Amino acid sequence: MPEIAAAIMPIAGHIDPVPVPRAVAPREDGRVDLVGLNKAELREALLSAGMEPRQAKLRSKQIWHWIYNRGATEFSAMTDIAKVQHPWLEARFVVGRPEVVEAQVSSDGTRKWLLRSPDGQDYEAVFIPDADRGTLCVSSQVGCTLNCTFCHTGTMRLVRNLTAGEIVGQVMLARDALGEWPSQPEGRMLTNIVMMGMGEPLYNFENVRDALSVVMDGDGLALSKRRITLSTSGVVPMMARAGAEIGVNLAVSLHAVTKEIRDEIVPLNRKYGIEELLQACADYPGANNARRITFEYVMLKDKNDSDAHAHELVRLLKHYKLPAKVNLIPFNPWPGAAYECSTPERVRAFSDIVFAGGISAPVRTPRGRDIDAACGQLKTAAEKKSRAQLDREAVEAALVAAE
């Protein structure tokens, strides 16, 4: 298949557009995937397909319930919809799931899925179980454009934004894998969502917003906004809008307290500096002591982990009067990385200084390292292969199957 010529994808807010070499291709069968549509969009999809308005109003409510409360993927399972209508729906619509290319389970129970879209793009999602919660780490883009030097995902090229349906689809797939249908608030394993997977969520604002509105809808998946965290590397112009239009918890990938170091490891800092970023945090709607902003700080040996850096971190957060928590993240190594992880003693000393300053600074326990599912490690193995190599492998597989 020839590659689509490079295009510019407009992004909401006064920020630079992101070049993406591939657009989202429609399904080959022409059907519309209903996953990710909100209630009004689902009803409109039925109307556009020719369903009578009163029928569309009723059927959209029923289908919504079956998709998000019961986890149904086939219209034939929707028993309160007349059987004679099932073929009409099946010919025009699908209740999709991302294709699972590979599913891995870590020795600590962490699960990672390598997923593939209908147009052949790969992305990843990770489920992290804990004693009192289960957190799904969700991707927002195929690849990333930020080039953070400590992050394996940041070494990927950006292919395209994920659609709202592809973002919601990661949640649906995890619920399938965990056996959590019908949907109910109590007894869930999947209790929290973090937008911390591949990509920068605020560079895909509309799709992330629309996906999370579906996830938070009380008639469906019904995850509270207090159980959802959106992480950004500091796309300052979009932060206030995220607070106003999405309203979930905010996490900021800070990782350094000086311009020189943050310019190096988080290049976005050259556009939106630390002071501008922290002021945007101070202005974030809904932030208070009960809903603190989380600052992520990866611990890099001899780079950002000195006592002086810890004291400066405390000073900055207090200067901006931020209701803050700092997550100290031991660096997760990957082949070719230019950094090493700080020693456990250095991490503890850093944490003690921040705690002494009156700011919570727990050390995050690395999860899923053995399957490259830990923080900063997400990078699909398939991305390392060229398009021609993938095509050759597909042909070889077909020949083997034919023998």
- Cα angle: 319, vertex 321, 327; to 5 degrees: 95
Q: Is 206 a catalytic residue?
A: no
Tokens of 221: 């998946």
- Cα angle: 18, vertex 377, 295; to 5 degrees: 75
Q: Is 90 a catalytic residue?
A: no
The rounded distance, in Å, linking the Cα atoms of 70 and 56 is 20
Placement of tokens 């112009």 in the chain: 237
Residue 115 DSSP label = E
Strands 249-253 and 228-232: parallel
The rounded distance, in Å, linking the Cα atoms of 293 and 223 is 19
Which residue in 52, 99, 124, 383 is the catalytic one?
A: 124
CB 361 within 8 A of CB 339: no
Tokens of 38: 């909100």
Which residue in 28, 74, 375, 393 is the catalytic one?
A: 375
Helix (H) or strand (E) holding 92: helix 86-92
Q: Packing angle between helix 164-178 and helix 205-216, nearest 10 degrees?
A: 40
Tokens of 54: 């009163």
As a dihedral over the C-alpha atoms of residue 323, residue 193, residue 214, residue 25, rounded to 10 degrees, the angle is 120
The rounded distance, in Å, linking the Cα atoms of 126 and 274 is 29
The C-alpha R_g of the chain, in whole angstroms, comes to 22
Neighbours of 244 (CB within 10 A): 11
CB 139 within 8 A of CB 162: yes
Q: In angstroms, what CA-CA distances link 199 with 37, 123, 139, 178?
A: 22, 10, 6, 25
C-alpha distance across the termini of the chain, in Å: 25
User: Which residues does the annotation mark as catalytic?
Assistant: 124, 375
